[in-house]
Structures are given as structure tokens and as C-alpha cells.
């Protein structure tokens, strides 16, 4: 009977840890309590998702994510690394929020985690990079000045990430490409002022800013105005004066 206990224990581990004995890891087949930090046979990270069935309570399931992992497949993180790095198997989704916890970053940067748990270090290295932070620099800064390191981390987290900046830039490009709104008037640059009097008086320069094409024609070929003799006005005045005399 005693010899059967180890066999039962081995069979139990084989059922609860699908990666054992060379078996492939399929995220959808993992129990929720083993899902977080696991890597599938396709090199994708598994993620815990919550759902609520009709009329039921919130439940959790394991799903495959779009996050790829290099040089690691068929991996379910060990309890030793989860404890050494201060990670939480019950975390839903994949987020960098844990990096803002000084107790978590202290464990993550500890030699027990940083040197022995490459899967978790790879995960949080990429999450930190998404916030504009280099994890190795953060860990080194923590050793020198933990308070300042966390202050810089919070400042970086408050700033827009590269993805957000790219989205904002895309939205600005779309608004410029579209028609101007009625609330915003189009700004027309003023022509440059030239010190050259000849250039300023040139008809070709004036035509560049003419709103009516007829102005260009008048400048290019002016219509001659017939000369009027000044005596014509005096003659009329003399005629009028003669009538009154």
C-alpha cells in the first residue's frame, strides 16, 4: 500500500501539470490556478480571463493571448519562482500595474528571482519596456536609491506610452487630412515682406496673391485711359458763366 502512494502522487502531478513528461501546453486546457505566466506549445502566453455565466457568479478560465515569447514553449511557471518574484497566479489579464508596487519590484529584482526565473523576468522586462522603462536599470536604481527609483517609475507610468503617442499622432493626422471644422478657421500664412521695391512692384508678384484672375490680366495688359484736356473743364465753366452774365 505504501508503494502505491508515490505512484498515485506522480499520476496526480501528471494530470495537473500538462507540461510534464513532454506533453504540450494548451492554454484552454489549463486550470485557472495554473494559467497565469504559462507559455503554450505555440510560444504564446496564457492569460486568465473572467466571465459571468447567465444567472451565475464570476468565474475564471484560461485563454491564449497574442503575446509571443521567444525561446520558451510548453512552460507552466513553478511555485518557487512565483513566490520568489512576488507574482500572483490569480492576476487577471497581463498588466504592468504590479511594477508600481515597491514590494513586488523588490522581490522581482532580488537575485532569487532575477537570476533563476527567466520566464517571469522576460514577461516583466517587456511590460516595463512598454512603459519606457528598462527593467535592469530599474533594479540597479533600486539598489542605490529605492525611493528615487520608485518615484521615477511612477512618473514614467503617468506619462503617455509609445502606443498612446502613436495613436494621438494618428488621430491628429486624420483631423488635418479631413475638412476643417466650422469652429476652427483656416490659417493662411502672410506673404513675406521684401526690401526690394522693384520686386514688390512687379506684376508677377502681385498675381501670386490675387484672388480674382482678372487682376492678373489688368496688371499684365493695362487698358489705356484716354487723356482728357484740362481746357474742356474750363470751357464748360466759361459757358455756364456766360449764361449768367
Where along the chain do its domains lie? Answer: 13-76, 79-159
Q: What is the CA radius of gyration of the chain?
A: 40
Q: Between 120 and 71, whose confidence is greater?
A: 120
Task: Let me know: does 14 contact 20? Beta carbons within 8 Å.
Answer: yes
Q: What is the pTM of this model?
A: 0.54
- Percent of the chain at pLDDT > 90 equals 36
**Tell me: the pLDDT tens digits for 59-86?**
999 999 999 999 899 999 999 999 999 9
**Tell me: the pLDDT tens digits for 182-217?**
443 444 454 444 444 444 444 444 444 444 444 444
Task: Let me know: does 91 contact 45? Beta carbons within 8 Å.
Answer: no
Amino acid at each position: 500500500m505504501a508503494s502505491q502512494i508515490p505512484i498515485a502522487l506522480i499520476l496526480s502531478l501528471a494530470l495537473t501539470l500538462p507540461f510534464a513528461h513532454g506533453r504540450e501546453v494548451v492554454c484552454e486546457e489549463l486550470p485557472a490556478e495554473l494559467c497565469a505566466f504559462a507559455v503554450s506549445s505555440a510560444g504564446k502566453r496564457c492569460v486568465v480571463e473572467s466571465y459571468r455565466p447567465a444567472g451565475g457568479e464570476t468565474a475564471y478560465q484560461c485563454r491564449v493571448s497574442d503575446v509571443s515569447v521567444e525561446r520558451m514553449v510548453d512552460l507552466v511557471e513553478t511555485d518557487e519562482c512565483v513566490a520568489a518574484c512576488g507574482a500572483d497566479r490569480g492576476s487577471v489579464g497581463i498588466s504592468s500595474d504590479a511594477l508600481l508596487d515597491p514590494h513586488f519590484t523588490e522581490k522581482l529584482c532580488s537575485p532569487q528571482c532575477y537570476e533563476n526565473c527567466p520566464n517571469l523576468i522576460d514577461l516583466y522586462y517587456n511590460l516595463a519596456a512598454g512603459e519606457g522603462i528598462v527593467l535592469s536599470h530599474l533594479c540597479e536604481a533600486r539598489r542605490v536609491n529605492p525611493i528615487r527609483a520608485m518615484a521615477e517609475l511612477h512618473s514614467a507610468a503617468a506619462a503617455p506610452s509609445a502606443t498612446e503617442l502613436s495613436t494621438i499622432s494618428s488621430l491628429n493626422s486624420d483631423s488635418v487630412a479631413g475638412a476643417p471644422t466650422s469652429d476652427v478657421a483656416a490659417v493662411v500664412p502672410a506673404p513675406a515682406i521684401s526690401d526690394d521695391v522693384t520686386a514688390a512692384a512687379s506684376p508677377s508678384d502681385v498675381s501670386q496673391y490675387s484672388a480674382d484672375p482678372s487682376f492678373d490680366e489688368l496688371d499684365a495688359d493695362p487698358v489705356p485711359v484716354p487723356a482728357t484736356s484740362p481746357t474742356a473743364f474750363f470751357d464748360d465753366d466759361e459757358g455756364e458763366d456766360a449764361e449768367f452774365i
